[in-house]
Amino acid sequence: MNKIKLIIFLIFLALTASSKDIRVGLFGSTTQTKADVFYKVGRYEFYSESKNFTIISRRGDKISFVARGNKVNAYLNGLKVGENIWFRLNKRSDKNSLEVSNGTKKKEVMGNLVIYSINGKLKIVNEISIDSYVEGVIKGEAGYGYSLEYYKVQAVISRTYALHHQKHKGEGFELCDHTHCQVYDGINTKEEIKLAVIATSEEVLVDSSMNFINTLFHSNCGGQTVTTDMVWSKRLACMESISDTFCTHSSQANWKKTISKSSWIRFLSQETKKTSSYLSSINLDFNQTQRKEFYSVGSAKVRLTKIRKNFRLKSTFFSVHIVGDKVVFIGKGYGHGVGLCQEGGIVMAKTHNYQEVLYHYYKDVSIMSISKVEYYRLF
Ligand SMILES: [Zn+2]
Ligand SMILES: [Zn+2]
């Protein structure tokens, strides 16, 4: 019975999702069984499906939640309030914040909280406006110390990413707060980030069919970005290979790694099924001035992504030089190389506006407000 009620509740949550609000599962993949919520700012209405109580809580109050099967026990300042399928804390003032702790981690958030349990695992869901969420993501993903214009780039990307990737829909929320989705660090107090989110409010990147694009990004492209099929199996639109002069003097622009020639030959032999004596007899040097998909020498050929993974290289944009009994990789960039090059974007945003930066790294896209996208989708 409890399970059916819980499923009905999760379906209800999915149906009431709005593209301007977002539900974030706090503490990502951690499987907490209890949580404490402390009131920090503003007033909240605290209630559950039993409707037999509504408590307006204030600063200093503490509510504890403990999972029990598909139900939750709640305690207000140590006194039991009830055992229910779900509990809600809805904000009753514009300025509001709560501190949530699962015993090992804590996070301060704005907006509402929904608490329920699936098979004894407590779900703590933060319901907030997409723009407040984007502020928390910029704080978590980009950090502090960038220009206002670059924060605007990051704001449009994070907002679009959130609407494109809704990986947790069946669990009652759209995104988790970990790297699995986007790192969401809760309430933001940095003025520059706030201004960037307000200046780009509601703006997202869409393709010509009005789909939110998959705004992939990486640290540094080394001077040339790549198409998705060079990294994964599928070719995605809007991610073309472009040459990038903005990142070539940044911190991750160049790298070098040395390994032994014997381990290189062992690896090549495994991957290509060529004998060690054949591989020792040919020239193993390899040059990459423009990005390639394969390391190709003699009749041996290996996908660059495989080499990167095996030797934990910073990128697939490298040349190979044999020096005595060593192999030296001389590389450029850091990351998969698809979409926005962050270090390039940071430099470009010093002399260009955020729209120019976005149109430089993503192709055949438009910057549009969510309301406008919804309007066009009606036709
Ligand atoms: Zn996730
Ligand atoms: Zn770049």
DSSP 170-219: GGTSSEESSTTS---------HHHHHHHHHTTTEEEE-TTSPBP---EES
- % of the chain exceeding 70 in pLDDT: 96
H-type alpha helices, the chain: 2-15, 130-141, 148-164, 191-199, 261-272, 276-281, 304-311, 342-348, 354-361, 370-377
Quote the ligand 2 centre to 335 CA distance (angstroms): 10
Residue 168 CA: which ligand is closest? Answer: 1
Quote the ligand 1 centre to 174 CA distance (angstroms): 8
Residue 173 CA: which ligand is closest? Answer: 1
DSSP 8-state code for residue 286 = B
Give bridge partners of residue 26 from the DSSP assignment: none
Task: Determine the pLDDT at residue 12.
Answer: 67
Quote the ligand 1 centre to 259 CA distance (angstroms): 36
Quote the ligand 2 centre to 127 CA distance (angstroms): 35
Task: Determine the pLDDT at residue 245.
Answer: 97
Tokens of 178: 């970990």
Query: Collapsing DSSP states into helix, strand and coil, what is residue 117?
Result: strand
Quote the ligand 2 centre to 247 CA distance (angstroms): 4
Quote the ligand 1 centre to 179 CA distance (angstroms): 7
Q: Residues in the chain with pLDDT < 50? A: none
Tokens of 40: 């920090």
Distance CA 369, CA 351 (A): 24
Residue 28 CA: which ligand is closest? Answer: 1
Quote the ligand 2 centre to 223 CA distance (angstroms): 5
**What is the rounded average pLDDT for all residues in the chain?**
92
Q: Could you tell me if 271 and 302 are in contact, meaning their C-beta atoms sit under 8 angstroms apart?
A: yes
Q: Could you tell me if 342 and 215 are in contact, meaning their C-beta atoms sit under 8 angstroms apart?
A: no
What's the full length of the chain, in residues?
A: 379
Helices (H) and strands (E) in the chain, counts: 10, 22
Task: Determine the pLDDT at residue 256.
Answer: 98
Distance CA 304, CA 232 (A): 11
Task: Determine the pLDDT at residue 60.
Answer: 80
Query: Collapsing DSSP states into helix, strand and coil, what is residue 228?
Result: helix
Residue 243 CA: which ligand is closest? Answer: 2
Query: Collapsing DSSP states into helix, strand and coil, what is residue 84?
Result: strand
